[in-house]
Amino acid sequence: MGTTPLIKLVDLEKKYISQNNAVTALSGINLDILKGDIFGIIGMSGAGKSTLVRCINFLEKPTGGTVIIGDKDLSLLNDKELRSVRQEIGMIFQQFNLLMQRNVEDNICFPLEISGMSKSEGRKRASELLELVGLSDKKKSYPSQLSGGQKQRVAIARALATNPDILLCDEATSALDPTTTRSILGLLKDINKKLGITIIIITHEMAVVEEICNQVAIIDKGRLAETGKVEEVFSKPKTDAAKKLVYHSSNAVSEMTGKRCIRIVFDGKSSFEPVIANMVLECRAQVNILFADTRDINGQAFGQMVLQLPEDEIISDKIIHYLKSKNVNVEELVDYVG
């Protein structure tokens, strides 16, 4: 990853103006996305995420601010120059958007035909991409013969056909089941590693961001609420918008009970061991687990729990000290946002 932004958004604004009123979809968005990033943009429904991703490639023209890709200010380009820049940007969607009357190979060749590549070269490129996404045996199949995950793999191959520098993913896994989602996210991570392509993930699911992204921006009501490294935003959310997304990602209870409650975050720095059971034995105190969402990834612990602590302050302090000694991030939920 470099230090010079590949994508730079400066004071980005998008308004929709009708005869009777104006609606501001985006306001004051400032973001730097570095080459090689897997960058998550997350927010609740209606927050402005999809509008933002369409502004990045000028499918929606911003009403204010600047989008710079590489050394090009998109607002200064004519239509021909803009089409040239868009060839460097692949895009995949929630509903796949495949051409149902074309087979898999022809779907992937379609953007290459538009760019003027010969038919033989296009088919060669399609074969390479089908191998990359693990669908070499589906070359002559039609979209109606494929599963949702296979359709999205074809869509990814098609998006990569013109060798883009950037891949925009607009809710690309929302229509898929959890197992298929993980396989598609694994494929995107592999593509990022092999090709060095910059990936932008638009999603409303914190679990998707945690799984694949290294940086995240949280959009709330058309504004940038919070941005930073995923592990930092996940473990120590600062804004109400971030807290809602992080806490609700595990169906957290909407109201804390008890005098003191803590949220503990497993961010991969601690081994997956029975931390809570060991804590109960060590501190000789019971806690109430209000919710838990933890998983073991390569022997490391990821996830979060909310615990209600005992009334005794000394024992509660001892529990917090013990957890911190086990490299677990601990946060007291004083201002929990339900």
Question: Would you tell me which CATH number, out of the four given (3.90.1660.10, 3.90.340.10, 3.30.70.260, 3.10.129.10), belongs to the domain 250-332?
Answer: 3.30.70.260
Please give the Cα distance from 54 to 25 (Å, whole number). 12
- Where helices occur in the chain by DSSP H, the ranges are 49-56, 79-86, 104-115, 119-132, 148-160, 178-195, 206-212, 230-235, 240-248, 275-283, 313-325
Tell me what pLDDT residue 250 has: 47
Tell me what pLDDT residue 296 has: 62
Question: Once rounded to an integer, what is the mean pLDDT over residues 95-121?
Answer: 89
Tell me what pLDDT residue 151 has: 92
Q: Is the distance from CB of 309 to CB of 258 less than 8 angstroms?
A: yes
pLDDT tens column, 270-285: 655 677 788 888 888 8
pLDDT tens column, 13-71: 999 888 788 888 999 999 999 999 999 999 888 888 889 988 998 988 999 999 999 99
Tell me what pLDDT residue 285 has: 83
Q: What residue segments make up the domains of the chain, in order of their start?
A: 5-238, 250-332
Tell me what pLDDT residue 29 has: 93
- CA-wise closest residue to 201 among 36, 31, 39: 39
Distance of CA 154 to the CA centre of its chain: 20
CATH for the stretch 5-238: 3.40.50.300
pLDDT tens column, 161-172: 989 999 999 888
Element containing residue 144 per DSSP (H, E): none
Please give the Cα distance from 121 to 124 (Å, whole number). 5
